[in-house]
């Protein structure tokens, strides 16, 4: 048997310095550089929220519902993003996963460096208390009825400081917690109601106190599921303005699910979910003012998933009768999508002996830069 050359172990010099001079590159150095390079280019490495091919399947009574079907989403630090979509498209499912209340069936999700599917019960509890704040649609679900507004805001700080043990110390002591609660209520325009219980507050005031509760522990992210769903338009605008203030003044990243197009028009980025996947997103260049007015015109973009797939909206495909396939053509600065011709039965038969596969046919039209024969003849001079 031929002896194999022994590989140096990671961390040992690939070539030792002959003159005892400068240290040469080791295999360990190369490995570290390769790992750093991989992390740098990993999907969503610079994002605060990164969902990669997220799948959530609910099963029961022999029926399976695929609520999320390989959803990709990146949200960067400091963004205020609205999540819209038809009923049943998967918005709440996504938010529950990001809140640490549910786990995905497949795919990965990370928030502020926390790998959500990998969290154990203890980490999950810490995550829910410190890393994310949550606002529910039902005002009554956000606040404890027997505590005042200020006590409701101080409660998450007490719980995270000492697990609710009486007299427990922590990052913020009693007086500091009360001070912070008042600061937050002031920021959200409800400081005058600090001593009142939820039943004494209007729906809009309750939701603003709920935002303060969600912000109490300086979370990296605030998630809100239809926070204005139970409110009239004027009150919804006020509550949304409070969310925007939290985003702009505290820099908190906020992801808000809404059905209300007036609300979604007040953010710079609106991501639309269709059939459990992100389908389009609208970006606005001019931010709305304090009252929610004068937002810049939005431009809608179709999202491309990690495998290069995009969903063509029915408003585009229906008028052109686009169904099974399209022709993609690579142009210097864009890709052209044209309806593929209908398949004729003879085209689906095997090619006759001696003919090259695909010769003279449409060729499926899938190659970038590929052109069908008719086109080429059309464009050739003479
Ligand atoms: N616990 C569950 N068990 C079974 N199916 C569920 C469960 N939760 C959600 N689903 C299903 O998953 C799909 C997505 O639901 P989800 O609530 O995420 O949608 P949504 O976009 O938030 O809808 P809505 O806007 O009406 O709240 C729906 O078909 C729903 O019926």
Interval 266-278: pLDDT, tens: 888 999 998 898 8
250: Cα separation from own chain's centroid: 20
Phi then psi for residue 280, to 5 deg, are: -140, 165
Ligand 1: which of 89, 227, 271 to mutate, most ligand atoms within 8 Å of CB?
89
Is residue 150 domain-shared with residue 127, that is, in the same domain?
yes
Higher pLDDT, 347 or 26: 26
Same domain, 324 and 210: no
Q: pLDDT band at 265, cuts 50/70/90? A: confident
How confident is the model over 183-206, as a mean pLDDT?
Answer: 95
CA of 80 to the centre of ligand 1 (A): 23
Residue 99 has pLDDT above 60, yes or no: yes
323 in a structural domain: yes
Instruction: Clarify whether residues 334 and 229 are in a common domain.
Output: no
The whole-angstrom separation of Cα 314 and Cα 320 is 10
**Enclosing domain of residue 367:** 315-348+363-379
Residue keyed to tokens 């810049």 = 296
Q: How far apart are CA 55 and CA 276, in angstroms?
A: 8
Residue 145's DSSP bridge partners are none
Q: Is 91 in the pocket of ligand 1 (CB under 6 A)?
A: yes
Q: What interface predicted TM-score (ipTM) does this complex get?
A: 0.97
Residue 37 lies in a domain: no
Which residue, judged by its Cα, is nearest atom 16 of ligand 1? 90
> Lowest-confidence range among 110-119, 130-139, 155-164, 244-253?
155-164
219 pLDDT more than 90: yes
Pair (202, 327) in one structural domain = no
pLDDT band at 252 (very low <50, low <70, confident <90, very high): very high
Asked if residue 155 lies in contact with residue 214, where contact means CB atoms within 8 angstroms, the answer is no
The answer to whether residue 89 is domain-embedded is yes
Which ligand 1 atom is the nearest neighbour of the CA of 95? Answer: 18
Q: In whole angstroms, how far apart are CA 338 and each of 4, 16, 301, 335, 370?
A: 58, 61, 18, 10, 12
Ligand 1 centroid to Cα of residue 104, in Å, is 14
Tokens read off for 3: 């002896």
Verify whether ligand 1 is closer than 6 Å to residue 67 (CB atom). Answer: yes
Residues 71 and 96 in one domain: yes
Domain assignment present for residue 122? The answer is: yes
How far is CA 115 from its chain centroid?
A: 14
Answer for the pair 183, 164: CB distance below 8 angstroms, yes or no: no
User: Do 212 and 127 sit in the same domain of this protein?
Assistant: yes
Q: 20: burial class by Cβ within 10 Å (0-12, 13-18, 19+)?
A: exposed
Q: Are residues 327 and 223 in the same domain?
A: no
- What pLDDT does 361 receive? 39
Q: Does some domain include residue 326?
A: yes
How many domains does the chain contain in total? Answer: 2
What stretches of 199-297 adopt beta strand conformation (E)?
A: 221-225, 253-257, 269-274, 277-284
Res 358: pLDDT: 40
In a domain, 24, yes or no: no
pLDDT at 5: 44
CATH number at residue 156: 3.40.50.300
CA distance linking residue 27 with residue 15, whole number of Å = 10
pLDDT bin (cut points 50, 70, 90) of residue 19 is low
Chain centre distance of CA 86: 17
Residue 209: predicted pLDDT: 96
For the Cβ of 158 lying below 6 angstroms from any atom of ligand 1, the answer is no
Give tens-digit pLDDT for 136-149.
Answer: 888 888 999 999 99
Residues 288 and 343 both lie in one domain? no
- Indicate whether 138 and 285 sit together in one domain: yes
């Amino acid at each position: 048997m031929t002896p194999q050359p022994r590989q140096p172990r990671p961390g040992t010099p690939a070539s030792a310095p002959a003159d005892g001079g400068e240290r040469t590159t080791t295999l360990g150095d190369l490995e570290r550089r390769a790992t750093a390079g991989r992390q740098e280019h990993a999907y969503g490495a610079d994002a605060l929220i990164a969902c990669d091919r997220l799948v959530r399947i609910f099963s029961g009574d022999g029926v399976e519902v695929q609520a999320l079907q390989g959803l990709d989403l990146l949200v960067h630090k400091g963004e205020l993003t609205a999540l819209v979509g038809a009923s049943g498209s998967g918005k709440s499912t996504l938010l529950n996963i990001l809140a640490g209340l549910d786990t995905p069936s497949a795919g990965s999700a990370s928030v502020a460096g926390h790998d959500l599917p990998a969290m154990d019960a203890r980490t999950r509890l810490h995550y829910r208390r410190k890393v994310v704040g949550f606002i529910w649609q039902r005002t009554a679900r956000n606040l404890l009825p027997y505590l005042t507004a200020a006590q409701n805001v101080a409660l998450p700080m007490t719980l995270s400081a000492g697990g609710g043990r009486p007299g427990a110390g922590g990052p913020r002591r009693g007086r500091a917690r009360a001070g912070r609660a008042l600061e937050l209520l002031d920021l959200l325009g409800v400081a005058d109601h600090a001593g009142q219980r939820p039943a004494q507050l209007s729906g809009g005031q309750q939701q603003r106190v709920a935002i303060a509760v969600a912000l109490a522990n300086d979370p990296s992210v605030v998630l809100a599921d239809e926070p204005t769903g139970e409110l009239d338009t004027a009150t919804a605008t006020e509550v949304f303005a409070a969310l925007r203030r939290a985003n702009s003044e505290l820099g908190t990243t906020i992801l808000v699910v809404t059905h209300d197009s007036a609300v979604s028009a007040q953010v710079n980025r609106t991501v639309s979910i269709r059939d459990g996947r992100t389908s389009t997103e609208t970006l606005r260049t001019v931010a709305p003012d304090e009252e929610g007015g004068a937002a810049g015109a939005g431009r809608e973009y179709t999202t491309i998933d990690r495998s290069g797939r995009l969903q063509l909206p029915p408003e585009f495909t229906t008028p052109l009768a686009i169904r099974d396939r399209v022709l993609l053509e690579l142009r210097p600065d864009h890709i052209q999508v044209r309806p593929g011709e209908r398949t004729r039965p003879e085209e689906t038969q095997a090619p006759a002996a001696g003919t090259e596969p695909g010769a003279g046919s449409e060729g499926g039209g899938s190659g970038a830069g590929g052109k069908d024969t008719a086109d080429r003849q059309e464009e050739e001079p003479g």
